[in-house]
Amino acid sequence: MKKLLLTGFEPFLSFSVNPTMRIVGELNGLELAGYEIVGRVLPVDFASSGTELLTHIEEIDPDVVISLGLAGGRYKITPERIAINVKDGAADNEGHIPIDESINLEGEPGYFTTLPIRQMVNKLLEEGFPAEISNTAGTYLCNNVMYEALHYAKTTKPDMKAGFIHIPASHELAIQHGKIPSWSHEDLKRSVEICIGVFAE
């Protein structure tokens, strides 16, 4: 069976839980849209998140990689259009703060997603979930992981589709955080399933 690597992230900065972790854990091992879902959680660490992702890709040999990240403060499900070759951000979980660094000195300035993001957004809206394409994944870990997957696909595994979806906070996180819009865990998870479901079409 075809395989879909679904990644999430551990908690970071002021976000004491990361809803992507729970979604990835619950979907791990399921069969959706004709794909075996393999869930993995990545560290919020500039030095190791890329290599961990590539190690998973090499072990699992997925046909599709969908990485999930929390975008605390966003209201909608936002599949990302582009990853850029920049690391510049707040401190990661190891305390590292990159400034104006490249992710890969030999890589392209940017890579467009190879996921069917327009169909994902249309399907989410049809099913009643607020969604729109995002034109920036930022310059923190989420952009970093998206860039690494697309660079690897471009240079080493051209048939592999890859990209990134940012999701809002869960209610659980919003209660702890105090100042961010949130969705129920069930709706967040259902939205991710809908995005994966596009691959059945």
Q: Across the strands, what pairs with 41?
A: 8
Q: Give the CA distances from residue 80 to residues 98, 114, 138, 163, 196, in Å, rounded to whole numbers and listed in that order.
A: 22, 10, 10, 7, 15
How many whole angstroms separate alpha carbon 29 and alpha carbon 50?
Answer: 23
Question: Does residue 160 belong to the site contacting ligand PCA (CB under 6 A)?
Answer: no
Q: Give the CA distances from residue 195 to residues 26, 104, 118, 190, in Å, rounded to whole numbers and listed in that order.
A: 16, 29, 10, 9
Q: Which is the catalytic residue, given 56, 142, 148, 151?
A: 142
- Judged by CB under 6 A, the residue of 6, 9, 64, 78 near ligand PCA is 9
Report how many residues bind ligand PCA under the rule CB under 6 A: 12
Question: Does residue 141 belong to the site contacting ligand PCA (CB under 6 A)?
Answer: yes
How many whole angstroms separate alpha carbon 5 and alpha carbon 35?
Answer: 9
Enter the tokens of residue 17: 């839980």
Q: Across the strands, what pairs with 70?
A: 167
Contact stretch for ligand PCA (CB under 6 A) within 118-126, 137-145, 151-159, 181-189: 137-145
Active-site residue flag, 166 = yes
Is the separation of the CB atoms in 6 and 24 below 8 Å?
yes
The length of the chain is 201
- Judged by CB under 6 A, the residue of 7, 20, 67, 134 near ligand PCA is 20
Min separation Cβ 51 and ligand PCA, Å: 16
Min separation Cβ 188 and ligand PCA, Å: 12
Q: Which is the catalytic residue, given 56, 80, 148, 151?
A: 80
Question: Does residue 98 belong to the site contacting ligand PCA (CB under 6 A)?
Answer: no
Question: Does residue 163 belong to the site contacting ligand PCA (CB under 6 A)?
Answer: no
Q: Please state the separation of Cα 134 from the chain's center in Å.
A: 12
The site for ligand PCA (CB under 6 A) is made up of 9, 12, 18, 20, 44, 69-71, 138, 140-142
The residues that are catalytic are 80, 142, 166
